[in-house]
Amino acid sequence: MIRSSTRRLALTTLAAFALAACGRGDDTALVNDTLLARDLGRAGVDSTAQPKLEDVPAPTTEAPAAQTTPKSTSRPRPATPTQPKNTNPPPSTPTTTTTSTGNTVTTNPKGTAPAEPTTGTIASGTSIVLASSDKICTNTNKVGDRFNATVTQTITGSNGVRIPQGATAVVEVTALDRSDNVNDKVVMGFRVISLSFDGKTYAVSSELASAEVDKVRSSTRKDDAKKVIGGAVVGAVIGQVIGKSTKGTVTGAAAGAAAGAAAAAATGNYEGCVNVGSHITIRLTDGLEIQRVA
């Protein structure tokens, strides 16, 4: 293919020189003939020694290959939905405990804001005045009997709690003992075992502070008459011995009657009674936990 191209070039050049020779003089014809001869001589020369002409593509600038991250051979984990962050602390549940008296107290766990208290305390040692709703006597009742009484005035405690006036108390008789003479004391004991108000009943630990007790003679008139008559007889005899006259006997009898009456009063039995409306004052021996009223 290269040789054919060379021959065509030589023939084309020869034709050009021939045309040029026709237009010029003889001087130039010789020169052209010489050049033609030279080109014709070259036409038979092997052109294999000539450098090959090859189409070389224009160099192009290639962008550097982008680095690729090798694919992970592990299976992708499913996307976990993100929950909005809760800035509020989780709700806490208050705990409820029972006191020694059977009442309930609610407390909040640590780390939570303290809630408004729902209970309060009536302090130990607080006195409560009651009005008896029944008549209780040493000769008509026995130890262990129970009766009702009413709180005469409102009692307040911590956190705004209170025992209202008119609250009902259940009172138990703890001691009963009559008096055998005018100088002995009547013994009556009481304690409050519960208080009821605002629809709730609270167990109470208490002791008696004081009570209004009336003393009543329990001896019959017949027994007293015997004691007075006996005293008069003794007095008359003594009068006769001392005075040895009627006047002395009468004086002795009068003195004996007075002595007999005094003896009857001194040796008579006396019962004790707490009448309806009489006051009984009790004292708390333990703090009383009660519910706060909204």
Model pLDDT for residues 64-97, shown as the tens digit of each residue? 555 555 555 556 666 666 665 655 655 566 677 7
Long-range contacts of 75-83, Cβ-Cβ distance < 8 Å, separation of 24 or more:
none
- Same domain? For 242 and 191 the reply is no
pLDDT at 3 over 70: no
Taking the model in full, what pTM does it have?
0.49
- Same domain? For 249 and 201 the reply is no
Instruction: Judge whether 55 lies within some domain.
Output: no
- Same domain? For 201 and 242 the reply is no
Backbone angles phi, psi at 236, to 5 degrees: -65, -40
134, 186, 138, 129: which is closest to 163 by C-alpha?
129
Q: Could you tell me where the DSSP H helices lie in 112-270?
A: 221-243, 246-267
Residue 188: band (very low, low, confident or very high) from pLDDT cuts 50, 70, 90: very high
Instruction: Judge whether 254 lies within some domain.
Output: yes
Higher pLDDT, 136 or 27: 136
- Same domain? For 248 and 228 the reply is yes
Q: Specify the pLDDT at position 241.
A: 47
283's enclosing H/E stretch is strand 279-284
Instruction: Give the distance from CA 85 to its chain's centroid.
Output: 26
Instruction: Judge whether 188 lies within some domain.
Output: yes
- Same domain? For 151 and 193 the reply is yes
- Domain C-terminal end among 17, 32, 47: 47
Containing structural domain, residue 257: 221-267
Query: Each residue of 258-292: pLDDT tens digit?
Result: 555 555 555 578 999 999 999 999 999 999 999 98
Instruction: Judge whether 56 lies within some domain.
Output: no
- What torsion do the CA atoms of 99, 100, 101, 102 make, to the nearest 10 degrees? 60
- Please count the helices (runs of H) and the strands (runs of E) in the chain: 4, 16
- Same domain? For 149 and 204 the reply is yes
Q: How many domains does the chain have?
A: 3
Instruction: Judge whether 65 lies within some domain.
Output: no
Query: Each residue of 33-71: pLDDT tens digit?
Result: 565 556 555 655 555 555 555 555 555 555 555 555 555
Instruction: Judge whether 242 lies within some domain.
Output: yes
- Same domain? For 154 and 198 the reply is yes
Backbone angles phi, psi at 4, to 5 degrees: -60, -40
- Same domain? For 152 and 180 the reply is yes
Query: Which of 40-49, 82-91, 124-133, 244-253 has the largest mean confidence?
Result: 124-133
- Same domain? For 206 and 148 the reply is yes
The two structure tokens encoding residue 95: 């705990």
Instruction: Judge whether 39 lies within some domain.
Output: yes
Bridge partners, residue 130, by sequence: 151, 280
- Same domain? For 150 and 207 the reply is yes
- Same domain? For 38 and 8 the reply is yes
Instruction: Judge whether 127 lies within some domain.
Output: no
- Domain C-terminal end among 12, 28, 47: 47
